[in-house]
Amino acid sequence: MKAITYHRYGGPEVLGLQEVEVPAVDESSVLVRVRAAAANPYDWHFMRGEPYFMRLMFGLRAPERTGLGVDFAGVVEAVGRGVTGFAPGDRVYGLCDGAFAEYVACPAADLAIMPATLTFEQAAAVPLAGLTALQGLRDAGQLQAGQRVLIVGASGGVGTFAVQIAKALGAHVTGVCSTP
């Protein structure tokens, strides 16, 4: 299969299209044929090795993992023996390292069935930004109905989800953003 890879830190010039093995499915994972993947600041930081402390965790001089991409949407090709809730042909979206590839083997816990109303491209844009907003407001912030919340960067990836999630939780939302 083809995958976008990098073997040194840097800008877009370090990216290459490479032939790699289709990932193997273990007992608790799902093999997904990727139909769409989204680029995030997360990917940019990994590619550049910045901020520099990331290199302490993921490879000081060169990246230890060579695939980029986290958010994706696609179609289930195979499931591990211990997986329930997914079957070949299911349309799914989720988070998995190396999503800029034709296939990913992803832990079943990191996948969800796509809403029927979303395209693959739309679904691929949801996981990281959507979960960041949800966990920040609901879990860490414990936002409750009737509370007021200020969303800084309301027009960005996380911000647009934060506005919608805060409204769905019943909060009074004020959003701010800048223009160039």
Tell me the average confidence (pLDDT) per consecutive run of 10 residues in the chain, 180 residues long.
93 94 96 96 84 81 86 98 97 96 97 98 95 95 97 94 97 90
The structural architecture, per CATH, of the domain 2-117 is Alpha-Beta Complex (3.90)
Q: Where in the chain is the domain with CATH 3.90.180.10?
A: 2-117
Instruction: Tell me the CB-side half-sphere exposure of residue 12, using CA atoms within 13 A.
Output: 1
Closest to 72 in 3D by CA, of 44, 34, 45: 34
What was the pLDDT predicted at 65? 79
Residue 115 vs residues 23, 37, 75, 130, 140: alpha-carbon distances, Å: 26, 16, 13, 14, 26
The CATH fold of domain 128-176: Rossmann fold (3.40.50)
What was the pLDDT predicted at 35? 99
What was the pLDDT predicted at 54? 79
What was the pLDDT predicted at 179? 74
What was the pLDDT predicted at 31? 98
What was the pLDDT predicted at 53? 79
Query: What is the distance between the alpha carbons of residues 120 and 34, in angstroms, rounded to a whole number?
Result: 9
Q: Where in the chain is the domain with CATH 3.40.50.720?
A: 128-176
What was the pLDDT predicted at 180? 60
Query: What is the distance between the alpha carbons of residues 43 and 95, in angstroms, rounded to a whole number?
Result: 12
Query: What is the distance between the alpha carbons of residues 81 and 7, in angstroms, rounded to a whole number?
Result: 33
64 conformational bin, left if phi > 0, alpha if psi -120 to 50, beta if neither: alpha
What was the pLDDT predicted at 96? 94
User: Cβ(33)–Cβ(75) under 8 Å?
Assistant: yes
